[in-house]
């Protein structure tokens, strides 16, 4: 994730800062690739925790259902294209192929930013979940995400994220 001049929502700014913490991007990508986690939703749950909001598995399921069509229409196919372009042997000159891949990456980032803006706008209708202290909310939100997905996330990845969150929020 790179900062852009239009990084306007508090959620986007939080995501940039959190994602930039040591190990966070690797943990997020591992959860995405190994468990099918929507990284933007995961970041949203951590942002909500920073805002003292803990969600239930049903609330996480509703959020996931709300963003699913956007993720499947844009983010997943764009990401797949970007990944397939990396180092692929084609008849296009490698430098030109890489330049195209960079453009695809920028489009992917814009699609993710739009998803985050929509998630942030959703919060403007009122608070989600129940009040909770940030460290407890972060752990509760990850657990709710696991239950919503019917999955068990690797402890090592979760620990990296929770520890980075605790460090970021000063807990």
Confirm if 113 and 105 have CB atoms less than 8 A apart: no
Supply the pTM of this predicted model. Answer: 0.91
Confirm if 146 and 66 have CB atoms less than 8 A apart: no
Mean pLDDT, the chain, integer: 92
Q: What is the mean pLDDT of residues 68-87?
A: 96
User: pLDDT value at position 126?
Assistant: 74
Q: What is the mean pLDDT of residues 39-57?
A: 97
**Percent of the chain residues topping a pLDDT of 70:** 95
Closest CA to 69 of 45, 43, 38: 38
């Amino acid at each position: 994730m790179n900062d852009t001049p239009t990084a306007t929502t508090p959620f986007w700014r939080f995501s940039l800062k959190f994602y930039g913490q040591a190990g966070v991007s690797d943990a997020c990508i591992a959860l995405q690739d190994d468990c099918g986690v929507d990284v933007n939703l995961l970041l949203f749950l951590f942002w909500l925790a920073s805002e003292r909001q803990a969600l239930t598995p049903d609330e996480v399921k509703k959020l996931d259902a709300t963003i699913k069509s956007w993720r499947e229409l844009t983010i997943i196919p764009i990401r797949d294209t970007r990944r397939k372009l990396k180092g692929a042997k084609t008849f296009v000159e490698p430098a030109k192929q890489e330049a195209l891949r960079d453009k695809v990456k920028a489009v992917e980032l814009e699609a993710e930013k739009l998803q985050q803006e929509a998630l942030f706008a959703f919060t403007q209708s009122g608070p989600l979940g129940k009040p909770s202290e940030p460290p407890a909310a972060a752990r509760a939100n990850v657990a709710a995400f696991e239950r919503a997905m019917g999955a068990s996330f690797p402890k090592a990845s979760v620990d990296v994220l929770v520890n980075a969150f605790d460090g970021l929020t000063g807990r």
